[in-house]
Structure 1
Amino acid sequence: MPDPFGPVCGPVRCVWAGGAELGEGLLWSVRQQALYWVDILACRLHRLDLASGTHREWTFAENISALAERAGAPGLIVTLRRGFAVFDPATDPEPIYLHQPEAEPPGNRFNDGKCDAQGRFWAGSMDFACEAPTGALYRYDPDGRCTRHPLGFAVTNGPTWALDAGRLHLYVNDTVNGSTYRADCDPATGALSPLQPWNRMAPGDGVPDGMTTDALGRVWIAHWGGACVSCHDPVTAEELGRVELPTSHVTNCSFGGPDLHTLFITTARFGLTPEQLAAEPLAGGLFAVSVDSPGLPANLFGG
């Protein structure tokens, strides 16, 4: 029997080799049994039906970076460059904005995000040039309230959540500085304690990008520039194992498939040299690997 905190993974396979400039925003739809993800720089939303292999895509007038399904309505809540919007792929020609935070500098854009178990959508912002420390973390509630947590990160990634001795923690990445922080998170209100350092990637191992949590509470982190996804103990941050990828810029990871035992992984072509692109023909592809423990179903916006 495998160690419950030692991940056992199968071979990595490429399930879409379309070469995204900046793949991100993974979402497994339990009700559709389909996978969504985005190409932020191409302003494109992708959908793959695993059973049939049918792939669809939608191109927008601005960047799309993260998404979640809506509980009380069809379609998705998404983050566009300037804020939160709704989009129903079956009926809407374009996303419709719900809220654009006034505090965001003009040089910023929204980046990674997902819903918590209470149906609130959390999303981080970043400096488009990845230089100015202007990123924040936002919580958009189903009743339309939007709460801003200033972080001072140039690039905000995550979040994800895990329990420690019955206490819920939110994890968020300061990508440029290679660090992951965590904070106590009140499940009822969404209030956060001050961020505390939790993990820092070693030099030469890339920097933390998107992340997710499995059913055992382990935290999985994509390494931009590190060609892997690493799995960590949620308390000590000890690395428990990793999935190696055939391309350098690994951007996001999320569990899906009928039994939630498949870890899907997005990657990027952006930032690679011509020599690297020639050596990494699957850069920007979507990958999948079977994992011993299932993930958790994606939370819906609105509960």
Structure 2
Amino acid sequence: MSNALLSRVAPTLLGEPECIWPAAATLGEGAVWSPREQALYWVDILGFRLHRWRPADAAQSTWTFDEEISALAERSDAPGLLITLRRGFALFDPALPDTAPTYLHQPEPELIGNRFNDGKCDARGRFWAGTMDAACEAPTGSLYRYQLHEKDSRGDCSRHDQGFAVTNGPTWSADGTTMYFNDTVTGRIYAYDFDMATGSVSNKRQWLRFAKGDGLPDGMTTDAAGRLWIAHWGGACVSCHEPMSGAELCRVTLPTRHITDCAFGGADMRTLFITSAATGLTPAQQEAEPLAGGLFAVEIDAEGLPANLFG
């Protein structure tokens, strides 16, 4: 069956979601599966922590930073990670835990109320990341592209859209011709035409808007068939959508409301890892949702795509 047809087929959950790490993260995010380490990296943005979970032996590792860490990608031609910290793009090698991250570029020195949030690499190794208002109110966030050039070891950063209070995503269609990006506060998911050769976006349009009461779109990923999987902040689920119409095909229901990100991984790329947040809950909600901030996993009869490498 072609991807165009398969993308319209509802995938099947092969079990119930399991909390594999009850980490009580303040704001879990940034899930990335590492094929070379056979492990999942994820972050606690407001806890200033990078986490790694290895399924083979359930080993847990944590690195603590001096500021927010919000997204990451493995480097293609060197050890370690490209990460986004509060102010911009940096390098960090988990194998050298006593070495501080090295900032490469800070694009918004004048916007002291902003911080970086979600981000991912495209298929050519360019890292796309959004900034946001730390108070989640003012539309001061932008979408940036950061890439390396042979002539400049510190890379090049360019802004491609702006006017967001909270940014999340992006993810791409299976053929790489469409990029999706979330304006979380308004509940809107936008699609852009994406030029892979130049790394540019155009023709911005609303692709989907969550219904009132169904939470807000947070982190997301694309499976091998091109279906989009989107975390619902305040909606206690991850929903799966057909890429053209946005029609919902299925959803994964979680035992806590603030679901923040999802990524496929595991040896066969059929495990969906899901992050969540403990922030924003009332004391009563915290008592009713003891797994808030945990890392979850569920097996699905859909194959994911390996995360693109930076470089």
So what's the TM-score if we normalise by structure 1?
A: 0.96
Superposed CA deviations along residues 126-164 of structure 1, whole A, max 9, x for unmatched, are 00000000110110012211111232110010000004x
Conservation of the 8 A alpha-carbon contact between 2:179 and 2:192? yes
Superposed CA deviations along residues 94-137 of structure 1, whole A, max 9, x for unmatched, are 21101110466110000000111100011011000000001101
Q: Structure 1: how far apart are the matches of 2:109 and 2:139?
A: 14
Q: Structure 1: how far apart are the matches of 2:109 and 2:141?
A: 11
2:63 is paired with a residue whose SS is strand
Q: Which residue of 2 aligns with 1:211?
A: 220
Q: Which residue of 2 aligns with 1:59?
A: 64
Q: Structure 2: how far apart are the matches of 1:11 and 1:111?
A: 29
Match of 1:127, as an amino acid?
D
Q: Which residue of 1 aligns with 2:307?
A: 298
Conservation of the 8 A alpha-carbon contact between 2:87 and 2:109? no
1:89-168 superposed matches below 5 A: 89-92=94-97, 93-102=99-108, 105-143=111-149, 144-163=155-174, 168=177
Q: Structure 2: how far apart are the matches of 1:176 and 1:21?
A: 19
Q: Structure 1: how far apart are the matches of 2:110 and 2:263?
A: 27
Whether 1:276 aligns to 2:276 is no
Q: Structure 2: how far apart are the matches of 1:141 and 1:81?
A: 18
Percent of matched pairs sharing the same residue? 65
Q: Structure 2: how far apart are the matches of 1:293 and 1:58?
A: 32
1:275 is paired with a residue whose SS is helix
1:141 is paired with a residue whose SS is strand
1:174-213 superposed matches below 5 A: 174-213=183-222
Conservation of the 8 A alpha-carbon contact between 1:167 and 1:184? no
Q: Which residue of 1 aligns with 2:229?
A: 220
Flag structure 2 segments of 5+ consecutive residues without an equivalent.
150-154
User: Which of 248-257 and 91-100 deviates more?
Assistant: 91-100
2:201 is paired with a residue whose SS is coil
Q: Structure 2: how far apart are the matches of 1:28 and 1:244?
A: 21
Q: How has the CA–CA distance of structure 1 residues 104 and 114 changed in structure 2, closer, same or farther, with 3 Å as cutoff?
A: farther
Q: Structure 2: how far apart are the matches of 1:94 and 1:231?
A: 38
Q: Which residue of 2 aligns with 1:6?
A: 10
Flag structure 1 segments of 5+ consecutive residues without an equivalent.
none
Q: How has the CA–CA distance of structure 1 residues 51 and 79 changed in structure 2, closer, same or farther, with 3 Å as cutoff?
A: same
- CA RMSD, Structure 1 to Structure 2 (Å): 1.3
So what's the TM-score if we normalise by structure 2?
A: 0.94
Shift of 1:194: 3.2
Q: Which residue of 1 aligns with 2:242?
A: 233
Q: Structure 2: how far apart are the matches of 1:147 and 1:263?
A: 32
Match of 1:135, as an amino acid?
G
Q: Structure 2: how far apart are the matches of 1:104 and 1:53?
A: 42
* Number of aligned positions between the proteins: 299
Superposed CA deviations along residues 243-264 of structure 1, whole A, max 9, x for unmatched, are 0000000000000000100000
Q: Structure 1: how far apart are the matches of 2:273 and 2:141?
A: 26
Superposed CA deviations along residues 7-31 of structure 1, whole A, max 9, x for unmatched, are 1012111100010000000010000
Conservation of the 8 A alpha-carbon contact between 1:24 and 1:65? yes
Q: Which residue of 1 aligns with 2:152?
A: none
Match of 2:159, as an amino acid?
R
Q: Which residue of 2 aligns with 1:85?
A: 90
